[in-house]
Amino acid sequence: MKALSVRAPWWWFILNNGKDIENRDWGTTRRGRVYVHASKWWSGKAVQDAIYEAHDMGALRHTLDRFNMPEMQDSCGCIVGTVEIVDCVRRSTSPWFQGEYGFVLRDPLFLNKPIPFKGMLGFFEVPDGGETEHPSPFLTGVEA
């Protein structure tokens, strides 16, 4: 299956907070389920700034105290879940849309355990390992 690498905290927002658009400066015709790879890149200050930016633009579903920075950092460099790409748009009313292109996302699922994997630019192939997925407790209303 193909994967897409996304920096923190944006991958976390996709899987936990209803981020329904992934912004890119390139478009795609790809549709269907892809792995979400948590980029190995990490900057605590930049991640915290991005969380506050998402809060200020009204895109967060949760209070700021729901973010687990150590867990987010520990997942960097791993396949962490899957999401379905259903469209690629050049404009959207979603508060998450800020790019030239937006991959429209739905049905995010977490892997039961992050899988270390080297990310790449663009879409890249990940061998199927029979991972078990589950809905995010944040998106289903179940307490974590």
Q: For 53-70, what is each residue's pLDDT tens digit?
A: 888 877 777 666 566 677
Res. 30 pLDDT band, cuts 50 70 90: very high
Number of domains in the chain: 1
The angle subtended at Cα 55 by Cα 49 and Cα 57, nearest 5°, is 105
Highest mean pLDDT among 52-56, 127-131, 132-136: 52-56
- What pLDDT was estimated at residue 38? 96
Q: Which domain holds residue 63?
A: 2-140
Cα torsion through 135, 48, 113, 111, rounded to 10: 30
Interatomic CA distance for residues 15 and 95, integer angstroms: 16
| Structural tokens at position 26 | 């390139």
Q: Which of 39-48, 67-76, 134-143 has the lowest mean pLDDT?
A: 134-143
- What pLDDT was estimated at residue 102? 97
Inter-CA distances, 133 with 2, 32, 57, 58, 79, Å = 16, 16, 30, 28, 11
* CATH code, 92: 2.30.130.30
pTM for the predicted model, two decimal places: 0.83
Q: pLDDT per residue over 72-106, tens digit each? A: 888 999 999 999 999 999 999 999 998 899 999 99
